């Protein structure tokens, strides 16, 4: 498991499902550089149980992410055709119909590996090719990438543990606050609250007021 915080987000080009219907054969996060934050989330598998609850939860808050200047992009190790098929299934039947943000197809598993979320038995051949010795899927990783392409926050959940979308939004708010105000965000900070200066005096003032 790698820690990517403070590092450039691994670049890739891969097929992706767009708007729940169209397949883009060469999708890349690089298109957002200089313009948008990105919440890049990995999930284990299409046609499963916790996964659609998460994908719909992010869709329900998609307008909130976009209002904050952030894009949401999902990724799993399924094929783009599998993504498309799942997107045709109604929510009431366990599908993801209505999910509009891009869903990347990491069919060769290299994106999940680069982001440190690939689970399963695998190795690399002498030619540098990833070789599986068992099923490989992605943990529930979530990466907040800034406009310069640097990872500023990451969490990785085990397979049965769903994520909190409101916390993902809070981290976008925190990153924007730090960039815009030059202050830092203390514990449990949320949008609209005061930050503090990164100094002993700033900490003392904040603790005294709270």
Give the model's confidence band at 1: pLDDT under 50 very low, under 70 low, under 90 confident, else very high.
low
Cβ atoms of residues 189 and 195 within 8 Å: yes
- Rounded average pLDDT over 9-15: 98
Cβ atoms of residues 146 and 174 within 8 Å: no
Question: Which tens digit of pLDDT belongs to each residue from 93-113?
Answer: 999 999 999 999 999 999 999
| pLDDT at residue 132 in the model | 73
- The question of whether 51 is a catalytic residue gets the answer yes
- Which residues does residue 206 pair with via DSSP β-bridges, in sequence order? none
Query: Considering 4, 14, 38, 51, which one is annotated as catalytic?
Result: 51
Who wins on pLDDT, 4 or 2?
Answer: 4
Domains of the chain: 14-163 (3.40.30.10)
Tell me: pLDDT of 140 over 80: yes
| pLDDT at residue 202 in the model | 55
Give the model's confidence band at 123: pLDDT under 50 very low, under 70 low, under 90 confident, else very high.
confident
DSSP annotation of 121: S
Question: Which tens digit of pLDDT belongs to each residue from 163-207?
Answer: 999 999 999 999 999 999 999 988 999 998 988 887 656 555 656
Cα maximum dimension of the chain: 60
Tell me: pLDDT of 121 over 80: no
Residues with Cβ within 8 Å of 63's Cβ and at least 6 positions away in sequence, in order, are none
Which tokens go with 47? 């046609």
| pLDDT at residue 200 in the model | 53
Tell me: pLDDT of 12 over 60: yes
| pLDDT at residue 120 in the model | 83
| pLDDT at residue 201 in the model | 61
Q: Can you say whether residue 182 is alpha, beta or left, with left for phi > 0 and alpha for psi between -120 and 50 degrees?
A: left
**Crossing angle of helices 165-181 and 50-60, rounded to 10°:** 40
- Which residues does residue 18 pair with via DSSP β-bridges, in sequence order? 22
Nearest CA to 26 among 15, 12, 17, 18?
A: 15
- Rounded average pLDDT over 13-23: 97
Q: What is the pTM of this model?
A: 0.90
Rg (CA), the chain: 18
Which tokens go with 25? 């054969």
Cα angle 13-123-8, degrees, rounded to a multiple of 5:
40
Question: What integer best gives the mean pLDDT of the chain?
Answer: 92
- Rounded average pLDDT over 79-92: 97
Q: Where are the alpha helices (DSSP H) in 109-190?
A: 110-114, 165-181
């Amino acid at each position: 498991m790698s820690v990517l915080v403070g590092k450039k987000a691994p670049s890739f080009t891969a097929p992706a499902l767009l708007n729940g219907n169209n397949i883009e054969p060469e999708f890349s996060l690089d298109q957002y550089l200089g313009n948008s934050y990105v919440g890049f989330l990995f999930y284990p598998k299409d046609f499963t149980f916790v996964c659609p609850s998460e994908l719909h939860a992010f869709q329900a808050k998609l307008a909130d992410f976009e209002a904050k200047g952030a894009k949401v992009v999902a990724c799993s190790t399924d094929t783009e055709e599998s993504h498309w098929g799942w997107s045709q299934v109604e929510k009431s039947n366990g599908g993801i119909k209505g999910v509009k943000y891009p869903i990347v197809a990491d069919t060769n598993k290299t994106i999940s590996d680069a982001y440190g979320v690939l689970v399963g038995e695998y190795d690399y051949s002498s030619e540098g090719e990833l070789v599986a010795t068992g099923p490989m899927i992605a943990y529930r990783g979530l990466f907040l990438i800034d406009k310069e392409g640097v990872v500023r926050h990451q969490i990785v959940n085990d397979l049965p543990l769903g994520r909190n979308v409101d916390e993902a939004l809070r981290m976008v708010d925190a990153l924007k606050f730090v960039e815009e105000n030059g202050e830092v965000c203390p514990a449990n900070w949320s949008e609209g609250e005061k930050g503090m200066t990164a100094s002993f005096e700033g900490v003392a003032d904040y603790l005294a007021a709270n």
